[in-house]
Structure 1
Amino acid sequence: MLAPVGAHTALADLEREIAVPGGGPDRLRLVAPPFVPEVRLHLAEDAILWWARMEAAAGRSLPPPYWASVWAGGQALARHLLDHPELAAGRRVLDLAAGSGLVAIAAALAGADRVVANDIDPYAVAAVTVNARANRVDVAATGDDLLDATVPTDLLLAGDVLYEAALAERVLPFLQRAADRGVEVLVGDPDRGHLPPDRLEVVASYPVPTTEPSVDSPVRRVQVLRPR
């Protein structure tokens, strides 16, 4: 079982990691994602090595550092927002399962009135905080589980949230409920096999350079979708 990690502990850990000089594949570096060069993120060249080193130093299990890589669905959503800033401009935006905060930061750069980035991993919440700071934008980060809640928002963004069946079974009804209330919902997904073909329609499609671990193809075709 994972030992609980508080938000303040996670933020202190990441700030300490960022401040330490030196390189290597297990270090965090401030880099621009290849498909969204307008944004810079603190990422690990090898997130698995970073994870192993941090667990060894902490003497406890830590959640998988999904936030330390930039994922194809998030890159496509962020690109779509920056290319179509009218989607976010002046609106309240929620980035669900935010990870590094790439999509939330793109929404802020596109002129959103308020951006909330949500992720249940406290290290992701910390990553959003340090990455928003690096890009000089205001993003509020929260670690609450929102999937059974009603969240006041105008635009709901969900990149790479359908990567396993159990999660998709919770996320899809949440997205549909938001759409039924009149919220604009956009999903970024590289088709990991959990897309319901009768419930989502394609808005855009992008060839996204692959940076996430354990993917053989150098480019992934990613769709931006919305509920029908």
Structure 2
Amino acid sequence: MTGPSTAALTELEREIDLPGDGLDRLRLAPVPFVPEVRLHLAEDAIVWWARMEAAAGRTLPPPYWASAWAGGQALARHLLDHPELAAGRRVLDLAAGSGLVAIAAALAGAAQVVANDIDPYAVAAVTVNARANRVTVLARQGDLLDDAGTQADLLVAGDVLYDRELAGRVLPYLRRAADGGAQVLIGDPDRGHLSLDALELVASYPVPITEPSVDSPVRRVQVLRPR
């Protein structure tokens, strides 16, 4: 795994500090369901994505890191309400996006927190957001899903089952991690790709929605673990 390039981090920080008004601006704001954490979020992630692509002059991956996704909000809330889950432990936040869950784990007293994502902009966003919350998070880029397992004591995965193909890779990886001794927690707003017979419910939360293109201001999110 490698960290974000200096260019990616510098570019993201420059974009965050851009002056201007309107919906295409990132703002540092408390997360609705986890107000203890502040993130740099887009008021409209679709507009922000278009702005990034126009500035870069090329196609870029969707900026999942610019929204506080429901599954991550639920997991972050759960860790802060139950800090013993993370305190003194090594935590891996898989497909971390903005780094919300990783930051919550650090605030809960984790000994080490690694936030992983395949998108270099997400890795840079984690670095910037961790700094804004005055916590230490190791942001690392790479695809872990073919790995045999993890060295973490606690593996958290928020909103990572948003399509069938991805779920087909994520769920076996989470099972391998659990079989290897890691505690695994999944935050999922019922996007239809769960294997419920292999998972058990830990908690359920009504989470305010900040993500784009939704038809309800609140979504019920489950926190689950492998059986």
Say which SS state the counterpart of residue 115 (structure 1) adopts: strand
Query: Which of 103, 106, 120 does residue 104 from structure 2 map onto?
Result: 106
Using the alignment, how far apart are the partners of 1:92 and 1:158 within structure 2?
Answer: 14
Summarize the alignment of residues 90-169 of structure 1 with structure 2, pairs less than 5 Å apart.
90-149=88-147, 150-169=149-168
Q: C-alpha displacement at 1:100, in angstroms?
A: 0.2
Partner Cα distance (1:103, 1:143) in 2: 16
Do residues 224 (structure 1) and 220 (structure 2) align? no
Aligned to 1:3: none
Residue 69 of structure 1 corresponds to 67
Q: CA deviation at 1:65?
A: 0.4
Relative to the length of structure 1, the TM-score reads 0.96
| Aligned match of 1:181 | 180
Give 1:18 shift: 1.9
1:8 Cα deviation from its structure 2 partner: 2.3
Q: Percent identity?
A: 80
Amino acid at match of 2:143: D
Distance in structure 2 (CA, Å) of the matches to 1:23 and 1:95: 33
Three-state SS of the structure 2 residue aligned to 1:40 is strand
Contact 1:30 1:42 in 2 (8 A): yes
- When the two chains are superposed, the root-mean-square deviation of aligned CA atoms in Å is 0.9
Q: Say if 2:150 and 2:182, in contact at 8 Å, map to a contact too.
A: no
How much has 1:151 moved relative to structure 2?
2.1
Q: Please give the alpha-carbon distance, in whole angstroms, between the structure 1 residues aligned to 2:214 and 2:85.
A: 30
CA distance in 2, matches of 1:34, 1:145: 29
Q: Distance in 1 between matches of 2:203 and 2:215?
A: 23
What is the distance in 1 between the residues matched to 2:20 and 2:36?
25
Higher strand share: 2
For 1:173, give the aligned amino acid. Answer: P
For residues 154-185 of structure 1, what are the alpha-carbon distances to aligned partners after superposition, in whole Å with 9 as ceiling and x for unaligned?
00000001000000000000000111111100
| Superposed displacement of residue 17, structure 1 | 1.2
TM-score when normalising by structure 2? 0.96
Does the residue aligned with 2:223 lie in a helix, a strand or coil? strand
C-alpha separation between the residues in 2 aligned to 1:31 and 1:72? 16
Letter in 1 for 2:125: A
What displacement does 1:10 show? 1.9
Gapped regions of structure 1 (runs ≥ 5): 1-5
